[in-house]
Chain A
Amino acid sequence: MTGPDRPQGPFQVNQPGHGDEPGQVNDPGWVFDAAAVGDVEETAAAAARARVDQQALWSVAVGLPAVISVLRLWVLAGGDLQTTLLLVANVGSINLVAALIVTATWLLTAALVAVFAVGQLTVAALDEHPEPRPWRLRFARIAAATPTPLKVVVFVFAALTWQTMYLPLLLLGACVALGLPPMRWFGWLAAGAGYLALAGPTLAQAVEQGELVPALLIVAPATLLPFGVATPVATPLAVPYARVGQLLTVALVAAATVPVLEAPVLPLSVLTIAEGDNAQPVSARGWVVEVNDATTALLHERGGVDFVPNATIVSRVLCPDSSQTPRYRLWAYGIHIEDSLLQGIGRNRRPSQALDSSCRSATGRPAALRSSPAGLSG
């Protein structure tokens, strides 16, 4: 914006060599200091950039869920264009958005919690580095600009939607992002005792079963707190810390996006199909895309769509997909540690029936439908 052909703004600045004396405009009634004018231009440019940033942010906020939802349909269809189009034709936009909210809220809140925590830790460097370089200390700027009530809302959503085994990490994040009151040793002791009373039984189970990761998740965040993890990193170290923290956050969020993209949009079903009265029933496992008067369109778990005549369908049951198989046999207050608080409360309120045996039979017999004699094309 300093070249000779740049468009001139309302202020005509006297460039050196252009007027009678350097630093003066031709009209003696209009006297400006060039440096002051530069500041004003900088501020205007920053404001314009902030406006564009905000517009872009809103465009992304609205557009990204839609794009991700369509990408998920693509993944669900096994990358096949015709199947994707069939899904697009039959899956409503509300279903898509609702499915995204159910499966991706945890990721959004996790990303925000990471931004707030890393940002708050590096906020001390903001005073030393006021120049607006786009990515340097970006998280610190966001953390500083976000009002506390908004942060609290994010943490509440996180507490409800994260798997309970990660709640100690959330606690650490909350202490970092929202700050801790100054505590003396007895305060730490009381807090530690309270935490141990709360998490101790699950920790004991984890140790007894030899499960390292849940045990670490319970112990590590709480142990770091008394060492001052919640106080902002000292200024000289804040910039390198921000650089590493921001990079790691982006990498982890990118890695976590993959399972979200792979999460199904439709409920997984097993159909039991019998062609004719004496035929042996076969099982078919997949997602019911469409049901009309004559046929049911089934997208198989291993790809490919079958249009199954409705008259041949004996039964349909809902089944969990393999990604929902838990890794641990650990509970905290009646809630499985891989369930979120919302899931756990729901499960305790309406305990689900045992897994239907058809869900397993179809897994073990993938070729059953394919090898059936007629009527079902693959």
Chain B
Amino acid sequence: MVGELSTAVRRLTRRQVAAATAAATALLVVAALSGWTLLRRDDGNTVEAYIARSSLAEQRELRIGVFGDEPLLSYRDPAKPDSDRLEDYSGFDIEMARRLGAYLGFRPASVKLAPTQVQNRARDLNEGLVDIVIANYSMTPERELEVDFSGPYLRTMPEVLMRAKDAPPSITFQALGGMAGRICTTGSSTSEAALNRKGIRQVDGVGQAQECVRGLLNGKYDAFVLDEVVLAGFRKSHPQLALVDLVFDQAEYYGIAVANGNAELKTLVDNFLLDSYERGDNGAWHQAWSGTLGQVVRRQQVQPRPVVSVKLRDYNDRRR
């Protein structure tokens, strides 16, 4: 039988052999691709599967640590100082929190906001007081040791807020040094660290940015050094203040932080940012930005590309 077959095959023309080989290859390719598609096992890398595996699985509420005193970024209604509800807050970080909550399966009413302070962010996360922190948290190597960052989700530069009548168009660290003792920033911030590195140590590091603004307005301080996105909001709500360009080329990258070692939640937040990035103008970031900070920040801003180690699949991937 085999002998007959091989004799018959030897009589075929080269073209016939090529056609038969192509047909056999086609059969193999179709069988391999279809078989692989039908029989492959679920890799478990879906948003649903990660939510089910994460610390959120049994939670009815998502607790997010935010600031409450930064207009257009993260601002709580002053008439409701004890509120933890999304609708009593406004700003870019709040809009990101709302969309992140929806991505993780929480309705707006189930997203609870907890005011935090610069120096308490890592502690709040690691003690389990909040699940996530979205509070102009610059991603630095030192902080990576305390918390896990997803991001970056915002790029900004340190700038200076001054009274409009005293404000030059731009200012250097050398000129800032001349104001030593009358400079304010938030304690433990990267701006404070930058000032210290430049030899300016007589700086008031306060707990909340609002204290610096009050100090500027009442003459206690001459300069408030912090990230542009934070200062732009204060500038908008206080027209007597002016934003001054600080001659400094080190950008800050904000991240969304989760407790150290919470790998599932970090992956979920990574993928939320990636989803937003890939959707461009329809993404969460762009929608949050255009309704808030986008109205006042001078520099052209787009969402920075987030770093993602595990890409998750999601039903929404079918929609663009």
Residue positions of A touching B, CB distance < 8 A: 114, 118, 121, 169, 172, 176, 213, 216-217, 220-221, 224, 227-229, 231, 233-237, 240-241, 244-245, 248, 252, 255-256, 258-259, 280, 320, 322, 324-329, 331, 334, 336, 338-339, 347, 351-352, 354-355, 357-367
17 CB < 8 A contacts A-B: A169-B33, A221-B29, A233-B23, A237-B9, A241-B24, A241-B27, A244-B27, A252-B31, A256-B34, A326-B313, A326-B315, A351-B319, A354-B316, A357-B105, A360-B47, A361-B105, A363-B51
Cα A163 to Cα B29 with chains together (Å): 17
Q: Are A336 and B35 in contact (CB under 8 A)?
A: no
Return the 8 tightest CB-CB contacts between A and B, nearest first.
A360-B105, A236-B8, A228-B19, A227-B22, A229-B22, A361-B105, A364-B51, A234-B16
Q: Are A227 and B319 in contact (CB under 8 A)?
A: no
Decide: A360 near B22, CB < 8 A? Known: A234-B12, A325-B314, A339-B318.
Answer: no
Q: Decide yes or no whether B320 CB sits under 8 A from chain A.
A: yes
Q: Decide yes or no whether B30 CB sits under 8 A from chain A.
A: yes
Q: Are A220 and B46 in contact (CB under 8 A)?
A: no
Q: Are A224 and B25 in contact (CB under 8 A)?
A: yes
Decide: A252 near B35, CB < 8 A? Known: A121-B23, A237-B20, A241-B23.
Answer: yes
Residue positions of B touching A, CB distance < 8 A: 5, 8-9, 11-12, 15-27, 29-31, 33-39, 46-48, 51-52, 54, 56-58, 60, 101-107, 110, 278, 313-320
Min CB gap A324→B, angstroms: 6
Q: Are B29 and A224 in contact (CB under 8 A)?
A: yes
Min CB gap B179→A, angstroms: 49
Interface of B, helix, strand, loop or mixed by DSSP: helix
Partner of A357, one of B9, B35, B107: B107
A225: nearest residue on chain B (CB-CB)? Answer: B22
Cα A354 to Cα B51 with chains together (Å): 18
Residues in A whose Cβ lies below 8 Å from that of B36: 213
Q: Are B19 and A229 in contact (CB under 8 A)?
A: yes
Residues in B whose Cβ lies below 8 Å from that of A352: 319
Cα A355 to Cα B105 with chains together (Å): 9
Contacts between chains A and B (CB distance < 8 A), count: 147
Q: Are B52 and A363 in contact (CB under 8 A)?
A: yes
Residues in A whose Cβ lies below 8 Å from that of B24: 241
Q: Are A365 and B20 in contact (CB under 8 A)?
A: no
Q: Are A364 and B8 in contact (CB under 8 A)?
A: no
A344: nearest residue on chain B (CB-CB)? Answer: B318
Residues in A whose Cβ lies below 8 Å from that of B30: 114, 169
Partner of B51, one of A176, A220, A325, A360: A360
Decide: A233 near B20, CB < 8 A? Known: A221-B29, A252-B34, A360-B47.
Answer: yes
Residues in A whose Cβ lies below 8 Å from that of B11: 236
Cα A252 to Cα B36 with chains together (Å): 10
Min CB gap A341→B, angstroms: 14
Q: Are B105 and A216 in contact (CB under 8 A)?
A: no
Q: Are A325 and B33 in contact (CB under 8 A)?
A: no
Min CB gap B29→A, angstroms: 5
Cα A334 to Cα B47 with chains together (Å): 23
A329: nearest residue on chain B (CB-CB)? Answer: B317
Partner of B319, one of A169, A255, A338, A347: A347
Residues in B whose Cβ lies below 8 Å from that of A228: 15, 18-19, 22
Cα A331 to Cα B88 with chains together (Å): 40
Cα A255 to Cα B319 with chains together (Å): 29
Partner of B313, one of A259, A325, A365: A325
Cα A118 to Cα B278 with chains together (Å): 42
Q: Are B33 and A213 in contact (CB under 8 A)?
A: yes
Q: Are A347 and B33 in contact (CB under 8 A)?
A: no
Partner of B26, one of A224, A252, A338: A224
Min CB gap B100→A, angstroms: 11
Cα A363 to Cα B317 with chains together (Å): 18
Decide: A224 near B22, CB < 8 A? Known: A358-B107, A364-B48, A364-B57.
Answer: yes
Residues in B whose Cβ lies below 8 Å from that of A354: 102, 316, 319
Residues in B whose Cβ lies below 8 Å from that of A280: 60
* With A351-B319, A352-B319 already in contact, 18 other A-B pairs whose C-beta atoms are closer than 8 Å: A169-B30, A216-B33, A220-B33, A221-B29, A224-B25, A228-B15, A233-B20, A234-B12, A237-B9, A241-B23, A252-B34, A252-B38, A280-B60, A326-B317, A338-B318, A357-B103, A364-B52, A364-B54
